[in-house]
Amino acid sequence: MIIRRTILAGSLVCALLALGSVSAQQESASRAGWISDEACAAQHTKPGRADCVQKCWRGGASIGHPEWKPQRAVFVADRITPDKDHTIWIIENPEAVKDFPAQHVQLAGKFDSAKKTLHVEKVTPAAP
């Protein structure tokens, strides 16, 4: 009987720890950054590259280069400090950002730091 209780208590503790680690990895937040494609990512952190981003999202078949595979949409977070690189997040729901290629935006959503993914809940143009 004591062994069963010990096993049950141990299982419960493990389950709670696992649940806590999942919630710690996902956080709802709002961050500023750039919408880009996976291939170019941080290279599109300035205005005027929307055509390139859209081509990469579609892939090269539409422009005569079938070897160019469609790229995933990514969010390139602004640098927090000059010595820190941009953080790149893969956007899980790219339809939410399809109207903002190569634009500086403010995104609100769920950021998963373990997978480096983001589920966009709200996107607005960033203040200049």
Q: Is residue 16 part of a domain?
A: no
Instruction: Read off the amino acid at residue 16.
Output: L
Confidence class for position 83, pLDDT limits 50, 70, 90: low
Residue 98 lies in a domain: yes
Tokens 């790149």 found at: 88
Residue 85: which domain range? 28-125
117-128 pLDDT tens trace: 999 999 999 987
Give how many domains the chain has, as a whole number. Answer: 1
pLDDT at residue 66 tops 50: yes
**Which one, of 62, 63, 59, 56, lies nearest residue 39 by Cα?**
56
Q: Is residue 93 part of a domain?
A: yes
Residue 11 lies in a domain: no
Phi, psi of 84 (to 5 degrees): -105, 135
pTM of this structure? 0.72
Residue 68 lies in a domain: yes
Residue 86: pLDDT over 90:
no
E-strand ranges in the chain read 26-37, 73-77, 88-91, 104-112, 117-125
Number of Cβ within 10 Å of residue 38's Cβ equals: 16
Name the helix (H) or strand (E) containing 4.
Answer: helix 2-25
